[in-house]
Structure 1
Amino acid sequence: MLYYLHLYSAHLGILNVFKYITFRAMGAAITALVFSWLLGKPMIRLLKRLKAGQPIRGKEVVRDLAALHETKSGTPTMGGLLILFAVTFSCLLWVIPQNKFFWLTLLSMLFMGAVGFLDDFRKVVQKKHYGIPGKVKLIAQGLVGAIVGVVLFSDPETCKHAQRLTIPFLKELNAIDIGWLAIPFFILVVMGSSNAVNLTDGLDGLAAGCSIGVAFVYAVFSYVSGRADMSSYLLIPYVKGVGELTIFCSALIGACMGFLWYNCYPAAVFMGDTGSLAIGSALGVVSIIIGQELLLVIAGGIFVIEALSVILQVASYKLTGKRIFAMAPLHHHFELKGWSETAVTVRFWILSLLFGLLALSSLKIR
């Protein structure tokens, strides 16, 4: 919306800055951050009135962990609504409204946010222990991946690009044509990213803090991918119009920072599946649109490690009857080994930053 102010720059020269993605990206981040700050306390009060308090589960399974988290019982969840509102409001102000990539990403995030909200609502308000079935979540995630694939394949400008799998760090063989296999691959990307962020959301500030770094990496790649000169020089796939996702990613950064203000230890609110499923889905969709799906494994290294720890734990127990970790996901393992919650969170943030820097280095190492 504010983009169109540059049309009046002939009357007031400074309005020309609204034409530039970099300026609007900074504006989107600040807007989302301030919006989160302002809306945070009223939303927390509303969630408390709705008695949307997080129950502490697993007391019979892992008593030591339940004891560590006992003080969190009753802390309101579904705080992911704060992130969704902040990102949506900020983007509607700063993004070019006709950009299809923005709408595809935003609607995907809101759809998975709605699925997560339903899951949280059933668990914390209706007191149904397991929320909605896991199969329903997987179907919803698969639907998002399939729709993104169909939209990209239906446009001649993006069809060829969507069929090519970009491999980071390689110069000669930096892309492989996978054809229509791209659509099931997109489904796996959305499922993987959405569930990985969801599994990471177990400690105060952990998922939100790690999401900031990943969103920043994709803000940079979206900007480069949307510029023909930069993408050609850096051997990155060029996608016309995808630069607007820089603004979306920046709004997500600001929203997560604002949410972290209330979610840092000791958390006044949790994001719940409402936030984690939505953020993971959004990051997956952005990676698909700009053709940097494999980069998500590097940039989101913490999310990948957390998900792998669960997979390995389950596989080991089913095959051998023994557990590899004291508990999965991995952050709970370190808690049970004596690390404080803040130590686990900050150290995982540091690792997330390192993974982000490694992902950014792929711009030149190829």
Structure 2
Amino acid sequence: MVSLMLSGGIALVVALAATSGLIGWLAQRRIGQQIREDGPKRHLAKAGTPTMGGLAILAGVLAGYLVAHLDDVGFSRAGILVVATTVAAGGIGLVDDWIKVRHRRSLGLNKRAKFGAQLAVAVGFALAAEHWAHVPTVLSFTRVDLPGTPLGSLGWLLWAVVIVVGAANAVNLTDGLDGLASGSATFGFAVLAVIGYWQFRHPTIYRTTGWTPLDLALVAVGLAGASLGFLWWNAAPARIFMGDTGSLALGAGLGALGLLMNVQLLLVVIGGLFVIVTLSVVAQVVAYRVFGRRILRMAPLHHHFELKGWPETTVIVRFWILAGLFAALGLGLFYAGFLSATGIR
């Protein structure tokens, strides 16, 4: 328990301090966000706001994760793999953000290069998860044997790639309003930290060994703490944006944790807000290409409500409420699975 508090606390403090320093450094060099012209007009006032704040989130996660192991907790391959995947995805976002600010445009890496880089990271994660971290290659909901459907090496590879790339882009799409992605992600990571700790305390039920579940919980609580520390400066009106550096890192970390904790299907519930936002974009594209009309005033969904006249803070707080409810529902389903496994009614 002490190690969990260390990871979350150190991550929060480091992210809080690092974000503050980053704001000054970026502002001094006039490194700011470029705003897309086809977005809500009120967002044009945000042009020039420092971006690439995801660097502070990564610093917080790394610091929290490393310091937590001073409490006689062993490193695990699974924990190291999640951290590496998170940092690698953040690196893709950093390149994308840097191109945007360097060329003073709202477009960074082209779609093929960006997707190809994400695919490479996801494939690397999937192969390492199976052959290095030795994760069970089965379909899972609240534990490894539910439903426990074997996927095989190829099936696991494809499934893991879909989860990691999908989660990374889902958080990226949600990062459109001040504090929306960082606040929503905090709920998801906090629940995953609880799940990891619970799996550590009940290794027989969840078929875990050694420090692995606790180590994954340390990564999760570190990501929660870092997101919360960043949110202090990212809350409306934002002093800094996380950029793709942060959103891709948080999304990839979320997906990697869900896969290695064997709660892949449950992740759809825990990150329900991200799923809804992503589906809103898919629905908008399909409706326009098939029927020649838009079903939303603008996608993703949060921009639709903005254009309907909702104040930005109203959209953010209501979406946070949804994110919290989805995360709580996910935790409830996980606990129900525990009661079922133990025969408790």
TM-score normalised over the length of structure 1: 0.86
User: Is the Cα–Cα contact under 8 Å of residues 52 and 121 in structure 1 kept in the other structure?
Assistant: no
Match of 1:80 among 49, 54, 59: 54
Q: Quick one: distance in 1 between partners of 2:304 and 2:177?
A: 12
Residues 162-215 of structure 1, C-alpha deviations (whole Å, 9 max, x = no match):
x1111349x995321111201111000011000000000000000000000010
Partner of 1:113: 90
| Change in 2 beyond 3 A, CA 1:287/1:46 | same
The one of 43, 53, 68 equivalent to 2:22 is 43
CA distance in 2, matches of 1:126, 1:338: 33
Q: CA deviation at 1:291?
A: 1.3
Q: Which amino acid aligns with 2:329?
A: L
1:244 correspondence with 2:215 = yes
**Which residue identity lines up with residue 216 of structure 1 in the other structure?**
A
Determine which of 317, 331, 335 is the counterpart of 1:360.
331
Distance 1:57 1:363 in 2: 40
SS of structure 1 residue aligned to 2:134: helix
Residue 145 of structure 1, aligned match among 122, 125, 150:
122
Partner SS for 1:268: coil
Q: 1:333-354 deviations in whole A, cap 9, x for unaligned? A: 0001111101100001111111
Candidates 183, 186, 190, aligned match of 1:212: 186
Q: Deviations over 1:89-129 (max 9, x none)?
A: 12111134642122111111111111101101101123244
Structure 2 counterpart of 1:13? none
CA distance in 2, matches of 1:344, 1:42: 29
Letter in 2 for 1:147: G
In structure 2, C-alpha distance between the alignment counterparts of 1:144 and 1:225, rounded to whole Å: 27
CA contact (8 A) 2:34 2:105 kept: no
CA distance in 1, matches of 2:240, 2:293: 35
| Correspondence for 2:32 among 53, 62, 68 | 53
- Is the aligned partner of 1:223 residue 2:202? no
* Aligned match of 1:176: 149
Query: 1:7 — aligned with what?
Result: none
> What amino acid is the match of 1:340?
P
- After TM superposition, the structure 1 = structure 2 runs for residues 192-211 of structure 1, keeping only pairs within 5 Å, are 192-211=166-185
Counting aligned pairs with the same residue, the percent is 38
Unaligned runs of 5+ in 2: 338-345
Task: State whether structure 2 residue 240 is matched by structure 1 residue 269.
Answer: yes
Q: Which position in structure 1 is the counterpart of 2:134? A: 158
* CA apart distance, 1:48: 1.2
Q: Distance in 2 between matches of 1:199 and 1:236?
A: 33
SS in 2 for 1:262: helix
Q: Indicate the residue corresponding to 2:13 in structure 1.
A: 34
User: For residues 119-155 of structure 1, what are the alpha-carbon distances to aligned partners after superposition, in whole Å with 9 as ceiling and x for unaligned?
Assistant: 0110112324421112222222222222222223225
Aligned residues: 332
**Cα drift, residue 239 of structure 1:** 4.8
Q: 1:274-289 to 2 correspondence within 5 Å? A: 274-289=245-260
Match of 1:331 among 286, 296, 302: 302
Q: Which residue of 1 aligns with 2:321?
A: 350
1:312 to 264, 283, 286: 283
Counterpart selection for 2:268 from 297, 301, 306: 297
Root-mean-square deviation over aligned CA pairs: 1.9
Is 2:110 the counterpart of 1:133?
Answer: yes
Q: For residues 260 and 33 of structure 1, what CA distance do their matches in structure 2 show?
A: 10
* 2:149 partner SS: strand
Cα 1:199/1:320, change in 2 over 3 Å: same
Structure 2 counterpart SS, 1:174: strand
Worse overlay, 91-100 or 340-349: 91-100
AA aligned opposite 2:134 = T
Instruction: For 1:307 and 1:323, locate their aligned partners in 2 and report how far apart those are by CA, in whole Å.
Output: 15
Query: Helix, strand or coil: the match of 1:365?
Result: helix
Q: Deviations over 1:43-86 (max 9, x none)?
A: 1011112322112212xx35xx11x2132111111111110111
The answer for the alignment partner of 1:322 in structure 2 is 293
1:219-257, CA deviations, whole angstroms, 9 ceiling, x for partnerless residues? 112222334xx254xx54535423211111111111111
Cα separation, 1, equivalents of 2:146 and 2:55: 42
The 2-side partners of 1:313 and 1:348 are apart by 19
Q: 2:34, 2:104 within 8 Å by CA — same for their partners in 1?
A: no
Compute the displacement of 1:293 (Å).
Answer: 1.2
Between 239-248 and 312-321, report the one with greater CA deviation. 239-248
Cα 1:135–1:238 change in 2 (3 A) is: same
Deviation of 1:272 (Å): 0.4
